[in-house]
Structure 1
Amino acid sequence: MVPFFVLFAAVTLAPLGYAAWMSLFREESSGLGFGGTERVFAGIGNFTEALTDPAFLASFGHIAVYCVLYIPVMIGGALALALLVDSALARAKRFFQIAYFMPHAVPGLIASLIWLYLYTPGLSPVTEALQALGAEWNFFGTDEALFSIVNVSAWQWIGYNMIIFYAGLQAIPRETLEAATVDGAGGIRTALKIKVPMIRSTVVLTLLFTCVGAIQLFDAPKLIQLRATELGEEWSPTMYIFSQAFQGHDYGLAAAASLLLALFAGLLSFVVTKLGNRWKAAA
């Protein structure tokens, strides 16, 4: 196990420690900006500044609304596809598993670029098809941009989580399903009353990973923001951190915001796990 802990310390603990050290300092200029900058000790000043910055707090609100839309679509869609593939009536199961998983094999940045093209009027066959049907939809509008981001994320992750759910469904004893069939349960009732309750642990684990991944959202909104400028440069927490570090060159504030985001992710994981355990216990 030594190689694992060495790698873990090098790529996880060391960067966390360095970020914690950076968060305690800030760059200050002297001589009306002509005397260069110097690093001064700020204590918890960067943390206070982040927690009182309306843009940073608003970014968590944006992600909360995103989760309300994204999580039901992604979890529900992945579970529905897994149940369909696991159905006794399904054919070519291996083909559909690979087909549904393919979008996840595309790197997130590339997927966002693909959808950015598909959202752009004059270039996209999607917008042309909508116009031919007499429908109008501005994918980069103030209200519509959020749905565009949700679509990109759902397209990329539904297939991945479908594979996880399908693996959980395959672990259900076939005798249990045969007994349900003998008792007269149809396919839908078997899926809702037998299969879904028996993979609650898998659903909770997937929900946990989805929540933690959602608060780290970066690729899709960053690229969509290139056209949907109303989103702003600091729409999500990770975009706020990126903006502070590489546009504002305030690395202390960015490090403090990063640690606050990590703390929030830990608390969110704890809450989701507790709620998930209660749901499993209620079975």
Structure 2
Amino acid sequence: MTSRTTDSSRATGRWRGRYGAPAVLIAPFLALFVAAMLVPVGYAVYLSLFTERRSGLGFGEAEDVFTGLGNYARALGDPAYRAGFLTIAQYCMLYIPVMIGLSLVVALLLDSVYARAKRFFQLALFLPHAVPGIIAALVWTYLYTPGISPVIDALGGGAQIDFLGHPLPSVVNIAVWEWTGYNMIIFFAALQAVPREVLEAALVDGAGALRTAFSIKIPLIKASVTMVALFTVIGALQLFTEPMILRGAAPGITTTWTPNMYAFTAAFEHNDYGLAAASSVLLALAAALLSFLVTRIGRARSERRTEAAR
């Protein structure tokens, strides 16, 4: 009995010595993750299963009624909600190539041996990302508004240029301004990890700057490009702040222009929290599914390249 107790005490001591410190260090993060992520998600799922109904021709006391997947069916059956995903798809088709292309070009230019004042340009290009999205949207709303915008006055030469009449490019322009510098930093850091001996070998073989960039640098940082594209798509699904601020000045932006705006309108204008929760959960599932598919495809391609190299 004593030997078993001693062995158990030793095992407990070894477990504490091996896992005790990591458990103590990770406990605050886990507590914050559960409180800030899992609990709100669980509550949203719970709300999505109920709807509020009133008796007595709408004048009676409101009560929560269990509807199961009824709110999900309402969201998916609403053309306005589905149109929001179409808006996001169009936004991604316009925004992602422009933003990633600009970020790559700027990162390649800064990685060039001829580049000067690299730190200054990195900081200058990163500064727009440091501006909060609400402030950026307000600034660009001012710049888009005819009659008060110095940009329109300078470009128009007396003619009216209606940026707000085309809300999608206007929102894309704000996002490009905010995120190009941030992603440029990611690409620049990835370029710094490219082996210098590979670049020197390309130089010895007579490869020019363009050939080196397209044949060596970009293929070697493809993982970073894929990661940025994935995070950009997931971020696009959450598009809300910029169109919400522009809505007052741009007639083309409706209250259900994006899925997030649809959920906001359902919750805070129509007081339909079950529908808002269901639409939010569906949006989260779409982001998770998209992330899984892109990661799976990227992993499969990486495995195929590894097998081909062998």
Q: Distance in 2 between matches of 1:270 and 1:135?
A: 48
In structure 1, give the amino acid aligned to 2:101: G
Q: TM-score, normalised by structure 1?
A: 0.96
- Is residue 243 of structure 1 aligned with residue 268 of structure 2? no
3-state SS of 1:235 partner:
coil
Q: 2:214 & 2:104 partners in 1: Cα distance? A: 11
SS at match of 2:255: coil
- Which of 225, 228, 232 is 1:203 aligned to? 225
Give the aligned partner of residue 129 of structure 2: 104
For 1:66 and 1:224, how far apart are their aligned partners in 2?
Answer: 15
Aligned residue pair count: 280
In structure 2, how many angstroms separate the alpha carbons of the residues matched to 1:253 and 1:192? 48
Contact persistence 1:130–1:136 (CA under 8 A): no
Partner AA of 1:272 in structure 2: V
Cα deviation 1:213-244 (Å, max 9, x = unaligned) = 00100011111221112221100010001000
In structure 1, the residue matched to 2:54 is 29
Partner of 1:137: 161
Residue matched to 1:214: 236
CA deviations over 1:242-267 (Å, ceiling 9, x no partner) = 00001111001100111100000011
* CA–CA separation in structure 2 for the residues paired with 1:63 and 1:123: 30
The more displaced of 46-55 and 273-282 is 273-282
Percent of matched pairs sharing the same residue:
57
Is structure 2 residue 34 aligned with structure 1 residue 9? yes
Measure the CA separation in 2 of the matches of 1:277 and 1:21: 34
One-letter amino acid of the counterpart of residue 95, structure 2: Y
Residue 258 (1) aligns with residue 280 (2): yes
Q: CA deviation at 1:170?
A: 0.3
Note the 1:39-54 alignment, pairs <5 A: 39-54=64-79
Q: Aligned residue for 2:4?
A: none
Which secondary structure state, in structure 1, belongs to the residue aligned with residue 53 of structure 2?
Answer: strand
Partner of 1:228: helix, strand, or coil? coil
Counterpart amino acid of residue 69 in structure 1: L
Instruction: State whether residues 146 and 160 of structure 2, in contact with CA within 8 Å, keep that contact through their aligned partners in structure 1.
Output: no
In 1, Cα distance between the equivalents of 2:207 and 2:62? 73
What is the root-mean-square deviation of aligned Cα atoms in Å? 1.3
Asked if 1:227 is matched to 2:249, the reply is yes
Where does structure 2 lack aligned partners over 5 or more consecutive residues? 1-25
Structure 1: tracts of 5 or more residues without a match: none
TM-score computed with the length of structure 2 as normaliser: 0.88
Tell me if the contact between 2:51 and 2:273 (Cα under 8 Å) persists in the aligned partners: yes
2:295 aligned with 1:270: no
CA, structure 1 residues 92+174, in 2 after alignment: closer, same or farther (shift >3 Å)? same
2:206 to 184, 187, 199: 184
